[in-house]
């Protein structure tokens, strides 16, 4: 029998650990107070999963593989928490778009929409939260109500009309 088919020679296939949301090199990891709280809750969840896994009596190889995945995920998360710089939204100028702003706007011919500018780990299109590193956020930061920004996407320019800013 060929040694290739003997299970003791099999190597463990590591589980893929998905990267965190991209944060460009040299960019400060700004977060809202709620964003930092969410990161800390996520870390506690991972710690609880690891504790439960270690208490289980299952296949040692599978348990080790899962523990490596959890530890790797927690390491990436801890890096984000340590590098997080909380922005006090109350200290932002209220008359212009800054980090944490909730903005009512209209892009080109689309309908009006309301978005909030948040940290990269907080961004969630379904919740209408965009990362401060996104092209749209970069285009509108610093603008005031009634102003028009230009959103450049792949050689195409679209006007963005700012209707209302709240915090």
> What is the tens place of the pLDDT at every residue in 48-68?
999 999 887 778 888 888 999
Whether 13 shows a pLDDT value over 90: the answer reads: no
Q: Taking 90 as the threshold, does the pLDDT of residue 75 lie above it?
A: yes
Share of residues in the chain with pLDDT > 70 (%): 92
What is the domain partition of the chain in residue ranges? 27-86, 89-166
**What is the rounded average pLDDT of the residues 109-134?**
96
136 backbone φψ class: left, alpha, beta (φ>0; ψ -120 to 50): alpha
Q: Which pair of tokens denotes residue 124?
A: 């969630």
Q: What is the pLDDT of the chain when averaged over all its residues?
A: 90
Which residues 6+ apart lie within 8 Å of 16 measured at CB?
none
Report residue 49 as tokens: 């999963």
Q: Assign 11 to helix, strand or coil.
A: coil
Is the per-residue pLDDT at 7 higher than 70?
no
Per DSSP, the residues of 114-129 read: EEEEE-TTT-BGGGTE
Residue 71 pLDDT:
95
Reading phi first (left if > 0) and then psi (alpha if -120 to 50, else beta), residue 43 is in: alpha
pLDDT score for 11: 56
Tell whether domain 27-86 is in CATH 1.10.150: no
pTM of this prediction?
0.82
Q: What's the pLDDT at 163?
A: 97
Q: What is the pLDDT of residue 60?
A: 82
* Architecture in CATH of 89-166: Roll (3.10)
Q: Which segments of 84-157 does DSSP mark as H helices, in order?
A: 135-140
Q: Say if residue 12's pLDDT is above 80.
A: no
């Amino acid at each position: 029998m060929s040694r290739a088919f003997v299970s003791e020679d099999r190597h463990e296939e590591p589980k893929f650990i998905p990267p965190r949301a991209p944060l460009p090199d040299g960019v400060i990891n700004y977060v809202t107070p709620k964003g930092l709280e969410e990161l800390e809750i996520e870390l506690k969840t991972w710690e609880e999963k690891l504790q439960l896994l270690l208490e289980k009596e299952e296949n040692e190889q599978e348990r080790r593989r899962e523990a490596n995945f959890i530890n790797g995920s927690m390491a990436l998360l801890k890096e984000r928490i340590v590098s997080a710089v909380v922005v006090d939204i109350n200290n932002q100028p209220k008359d212009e778009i800054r980090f944490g702003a909730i903005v009512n706007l209209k892009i080109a011919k689309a309908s009006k929409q309301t978005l909030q500018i948040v940290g990269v780990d907080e961004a969630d299109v379904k919740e209408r939260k965009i990362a401060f590193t996104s092209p749209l956020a970069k285009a509108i930061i610093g603008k005031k109500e009634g102003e028009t920004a230009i959103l450049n996407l792949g050689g195409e320019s679209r006007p963005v009309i700012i209707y209302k800013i709240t915090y």
